[in-house]
A and B are shown apart, each in its own frame.
Chain A
Amino acid sequence: MKYDLIVVGGGPAGYVGAIRAAQLGKRVACVEKERAGGTCLNWGCIPTKSLLRNAELYHLLRHRASDLGFRFDNLAFDWSKIIARSRAVSDKLASGVEFLFRKHKIDNIKATASIPEAGRVACKGADGKEQILEADSILVATGATSRPMPGLPVNGKTVIDSHYAMIIDPQPKRIIIIGAGAIGVEFAYFFNAFGTEVTLIEMLPNVLPVEDTEISVALERALTKQGIKILTNSKVTETSTTKSGVRVTVESKEKQTFEADCALVAIGVSPLVPAKVSLKLDQKGFIQIDDRYQTNVPGVYAAGDIIGPPWLAHVAMWEAIQTVNGIFSAATPKRLKTFPGCTYCQPQVASVGLTERAAKEKGIKFKVGKFPFLANGKALAAGEPDGFVKLLFGEPHGEIIGAHIIGAEATELIAELGLAINLEATHEELEETIHAHPTLSEAVHEAVGNAFGLAIHI
């Protein structure tokens, strides 16, 4: 029996690609060695959002209860339960994906896959049995894993990666986090909220280096105020594990040494290329593809983290849909242009489109509109006055080219602006759209007005 498509990997690119192919009436198998859902569902986006929800609540109750008129005499938390809840959420969602596979009659094969040649996938089960499956097309969606740091190998105890960080028990008293991308920043917020002493180290000049600098600077201020020690422009030069933990030497302007129970390495990801078939890779080891997401081997396609940055679940899902649509029709798949990025610490950070830095580098003429949540009624009522909305408009037509939000629910607010960019909306359409009162989204509306001298509330 021959499949129309075999998907290797059951993460966001893999399961979404498999379901889309099934929707197109194709016979599909998805080979995954662990549970369906991949890193995102099992060891990434979802379980960390569960942990962060706990952190956010605890932070709120601990620091803001009296403002809000609550009193807790014995506020306490159960670390093991917090972790157990996060695992339960992942488990539930993974079952959900497995249900979707059944619903779409996708063969969900639990095995380690290799690709001996185009059209064939070798699947080795946990019991050691191997079977060869055949398909017209193969979609490689094997994703990526934490990138190891030279000289500081992950041991699961004193040196951990994000995978270990979300099940670490007991809670560390002190932690050093290396890398202040979204993963590093989210764990810094999480551990700090529960009272762990956190040192966050970033080589580049700002935390969340891909974000707009103004947003990064605002976040640094907020996190420092919460008690996180942040070192930017700082390079880890020496590391050693001690009996009780880890010692890390950091060089910035001066040399400093920090000790902690453990170090979390969050310096990016490495590709997980399937074995056997020789796929053309880029310099960093990610699979190279053509306009149709096809690798150098005809009939073998790739999508998601395995084809390189940005390593985001929502991008992977979109790419998988583009790839599968392209495999089964003559329509040309689209390549990634605009995508949102979200970081779920508090205050949250979300963005879509160009940063001010990028717009300047591209030589685009633009206008900036900003609005602080301090002047937004809903934000004040909710007790969340921190942060602001910053929008970039191209000149002379006023099309929105970038949106950057820091503050409560920023990650939910960004969707409107992704749509605006995708539909090439200009400031006029945003300005003319009624935003419900009172909502945080009014801050977006007012930031549009601000760019053109029409904001009402500032």
Chain B
Amino acid sequence: MPITIEMPKLSDTMTEGTLLRWVKKVGDTVAVGDVLAEVETDKATMEMEAFDEGTLSEVYVNDGQTVQVGQKLALLLGAGESKPADSKPSAPASKQSDAQKKPDTEKKASQTKQPEPPAPQPIKTTDGESGQRVKASPLARKVAAELGVQLETLPGSGPGGRIVRDDVVSAHENRAQTVAETPKPVAPAAPALVPPQPVSQQDVQIQLGGMRRTIAARLLEAKTTIPHFYLQAEIDAEPLVQLRQQLNTVNEAAGLPKFTINDFIIKATAVAAAHVPKANASFAGDTIVQYGSVQLACAVAIDDGLVTPVIRDAQTKTLSQISTEVKDLAAKARSKKLKPEQYQGGTITVSNLGSYGVDQFFAIINPPQSLIVSVGAILKKPVVNAAGAVVPGQRIVLALSCDHRVVDGAIGAQFLAELKRLLETPALMLV
């Protein structure tokens, strides 16, 4: 049977993808595992592999085109197969187009008789606000709550028009469509009332890539829907700088890579989050999810945006492990080689602009997390020592942005105090 290749869903949040480049051309033979094309998602550039073998018979999408998840990209034919009559690309896989297709095939199937008008579909679409009962299976309700799917808008395929799990799952997969149909109080990327236009010849208009769209939508949502509050503390960085020097002298002699200040801060954040688990949590509607391990996301700037690769179970890792992993993930992020499992599922984030000379800032929370640590540069400044004398010192400002639905002021302060304690006596986090 001819196989239709569709835009795959390569990450949880992916709703559309850009076909950067076809690797295979029409007429090429394709084996299972061959790279068909490169696809840019909201997070990374990925290689799209073939799951079936055959000959690439047709492509419906040109290099550089952005399409919805599920939209037909190409047609793969097996040996001796010919193109089916209706192989033209469909609109983004939508319920509506499915519904339109069905009657056709049904007519074909029973052409010996005149099919009678379709039996009336049981009514199952109710207005959410009317409070009418929605017929949905218990499993469908659980899955819908988990995926955030509105049952009121779904057609049901179960007994008597009941909404069953498959209905919810397919609605979730077609979410791009659903979102467009159901206006939300806050549009994810609401443009300004009058879209700005280029005013002079030097101005350029830059098309949004998948990543830029995601950054725009997610951070707007975070900043407008999460009740942020901010805490900051100046930390004595002397002990940290000294420890780093000692360790790096040893490392240098052994030909090992050096530790960065950021490595220590990530390590300290992981330990602090394990010590103050209430800060390592997410708001989940009716509940708060408090995580049992620290999945530490680390903001990495890349050419056209930023990504937050995740150090798994960071609370269990040594400084050296963290240091190696951060370098590796950052390199992958810059070459856009991160896999979804390397950037999904963070529970807390560290963002460090110290190397740019920023002395302090407050980052926007990375949902569904509740806390982000913003790290500034180490500055030399006069400080008052224990004896009351003004002496030269080294200081660094750490700031927290917290989701007040989860992290109250006292919890945030406790977390920050722990971070300060660990960084000012850095030997503590190494034991």
- Mark A residues whose CB is within 8 Å of B: 118-119, 136-137, 290-292, 294, 298-299, 326-332, 397-399, 422-426, 428-429
From the candidates B103, B137, B140, B164, name the one contacting A330 in the complex (CB within 8 A): B103
The docked-state distance in angstroms from the alpha carbon of A422 to that of B137 is: 9
Interchain CB contact under 8 A, A424 and B140: yes
Q: Chain A contacts of B357 at CB under 8 A?
A: none
Interchain CB contact under 8 A, B113 and A330: no
Interchain CB contact under 8 A, A330 and B109: no
Q: Chain B contacts of A329 at CB under 8 A?
A: 115-116, 118-119
Sort A-B residue pairs by CB-CB distance and give the 10 closest, nearest first. Answer: A424-B137, A424-B139, A330-B118, A299-B112, A399-B139, A397-B142, A329-B119, A298-B112, A426-B138, A292-B109
| A333 CB to nearest B CB, Å | 10
Q: Chain A contacts of B102 at CB under 8 A?
A: 332
| A153 CB to nearest B CB, Å | 41
Q: Mark B18-53, 1 if CB is under 8 A from A, else 0.
A: 000000000000000000000000000000000000
The docked-state distance in angstroms from the alpha carbon of A294 to that of B143 is: 35
Interchain CB contact under 8 A, B110 and A292: yes
Known: A298-B112, A330-B106. 4 other contacts (CB 8 A): A294-B110, A331-B119, A425-B139, A426-B138
| B34 CB to nearest A CB, Å | 26
For A430, the closest partner residue in chain B by CB is B138
The docked-state distance in angstroms from the alpha carbon of A291 to that of B119 is: 18
Q: Which of B138-175 contact A (CB under 8 A)?
A: 138-140, 142-143, 158-159, 162, 164-165
Interchain CB contact under 8 A, B162 and A423: yes
The docked-state distance in angstroms from the alpha carbon of A327 to that of B113 is: 9
Interchain CB contact under 8 A, A290 and B142: no
Interchain CB contact under 8 A, B118 and A331: yes
Interchain CB contact under 8 A, A425 and B103: no
From the candidates A119, A136, A424, name the one contacting B158 in the complex (CB within 8 A): A424
Known A137-B113, A298-B112, A329-B116: A428·B138 in contact at CB below 8 Å: yes
Interchain CB contact under 8 A, A424 and B164: yes
Known A328-B116, A332-B102, A332-B106: A298·B111 in contact at CB below 8 Å: yes
The docked-state distance in angstroms from the alpha carbon of A398 to that of B112 is: 46
* Residue picked from A118, A290, A424, most chain B C-beta under 10 Å: A424
Interchain CB contact under 8 A, A294 and B109: yes
Known A332-B106, A423-B162, A424-B137: A136·B116 in contact at CB below 8 Å: no
Q: Chain B contacts of A136 at CB under 8 A?
A: 112-113
Interchain CB contact under 8 A, A423 and B103: no
The docked-state distance in angstroms from the alpha carbon of A291 to that of B116 is: 18
The docked-state distance in angstroms from the alpha carbon of A422 to that of B142 is: 16
For A297, the closest partner residue in chain B by CB is B112
Q: Mark B104-127, 1 if CB is under 8 A from A, else 0.
A: 001001111101111100000000
Q: Chain B contacts of A425 at CB under 8 A?
A: 137-139
Q: Chain B contacts of A299 at CB under 8 A?
A: 112-113
The docked-state distance in angstroms from the alpha carbon of A330 to that of B108 is: 11
Interchain CB contact under 8 A, A397 and B139: yes
The docked-state distance in angstroms from the alpha carbon of A330 to that of B116 is: 7
Interchain CB contact under 8 A, A424 and B138: yes
Known A424-B137, A426-B138, A429-B138: A291·B109 in contact at CB below 8 Å: yes
| B133 CB to nearest A CB, Å | 15
Q: Chain A contacts of B139 at CB under 8 A?
A: 397, 399, 424-426
Q: Chain A contacts of B164 at CB under 8 A?
A: 424
**What are 15 of the A-B contact pairs (CB < 8 Å)?**
A291-B109, A292-B110, A294-B110, A299-B112, A330-B103, A330-B116, A332-B102, A332-B106, A399-B138, A399-B139, A399-B142, A399-B165, A423-B138, A423-B162, A424-B164
Q: Is the interface of B mostly helix, strand, loop or mixed?
A: loop
The docked-state distance in angstroms from the alpha carbon of A136 to that of B113 is: 7
Q: Chain A contacts of B165 at CB under 8 A?
A: 399, 424
For A328, the closest partner residue in chain B by CB is B116
Q: Chain B contacts of A326 at CB under 8 A?
A: 110
Interchain CB contact under 8 A, A423 and B137: yes
The docked-state distance in angstroms from the alpha carbon of A292 to that of B113 is: 14
Q: Chain A contacts of B159 at CB under 8 A?
A: 422-423
| B22 CB to nearest A CB, Å | 33
The docked-state distance in angstroms from the alpha carbon of A119 to that of B112 is: 9
Q: Chain B contacts of A118 at CB under 8 A?
A: 112
For A425, the closest partner residue in chain B by CB is B138
Interchain CB contact under 8 A, B109 and A290: yes
Q: Chain A contacts of B140 at CB under 8 A?
A: 424
* Residue picked from A118, A119, A298, most chain B C-beta under 10 Å: A298
The docked-state distance in angstroms from the alpha carbon of A137 to that of B113 is: 8
| B161 CB to nearest A CB, Å | 11
| B109 CB to nearest A CB, Å | 5
Q: Chain B contacts of A330 at CB under 8 A?
A: 103, 106, 115-119
| A367 CB to nearest B CB, Å | 14
The docked-state distance in angstroms from the alpha carbon of A329 to that of B118 is: 6
Q: Chain A contacts of B115 at CB under 8 A?
A: 329-330
| B333 CB to nearest A CB, Å | 31
The docked-state distance in angstroms from the alpha carbon of A384 to that of B142 is: 38
Q: Chain A contacts of B162 at CB under 8 A?
A: 423
| B295 CB to nearest A CB, Å | 19
Interchain CB contact under 8 A, A327 and B119: no
The docked-state distance in angstroms from the alpha carbon of A409 to that of B266 is: 63
Q: Chain B contacts of A292 at CB under 8 A?
A: 106, 109-110
Interchain CB contact under 8 A, A397 and B143: yes
For B138, the closest partner residue in chain A by CB is A426
| A397 CB to nearest B CB, Å | 5
Interchain CB contact under 8 A, B112 and A137: yes
| A338 CB to nearest B CB, Å | 12
| B354 CB to nearest A CB, Å | 41
| A389 CB to nearest B CB, Å | 20
Q: Chain A contacts of B109 at CB under 8 A?
A: 290-292, 294
Q: Chain A contacts of B118 at CB under 8 A?
A: 329-331
The docked-state distance in angstroms from the alpha carbon of A400 to that of B140 is: 13
| B2 CB to nearest A CB, Å | 18
Q: Chain A contacts of B103 at CB under 8 A?
A: 330
From the candidates B110, B111, B158, name the one contacting A327 in the complex (CB within 8 A): B110
For A326, the closest partner residue in chain B by CB is B110
* Residue picked from A292, A299, A397, most chain B C-beta under 10 Å: A397
The docked-state distance in angstroms from the alpha carbon of A332 to that of B164 is: 17
For B111, the closest partner residue in chain A by CB is A298
For A327, the closest partner residue in chain B by CB is B110
Q: Chain B contacts of A424 at CB under 8 A?
A: 137-140, 158, 164-165
The docked-state distance in angstroms from the alpha carbon of A426 to that of B140 is: 10
Q: Chain B contacts of A429 at CB under 8 A?
A: 138
The docked-state distance in angstroms from the alpha carbon of A399 to that of B168 is: 15
| B386 CB to nearest A CB, Å | 54
The docked-state distance in angstroms from the alpha carbon of A416 to that of B94 is: 36
For B140, the closest partner residue in chain A by CB is A424
The docked-state distance in angstroms from the alpha carbon of A424 to that of B138 is: 6
| B303 CB to nearest A CB, Å | 39
The docked-state distance in angstroms from the alpha carbon of A329 to that of B143 is: 32
The docked-state distance in angstroms from the alpha carbon of A231 to that of B48 is: 52
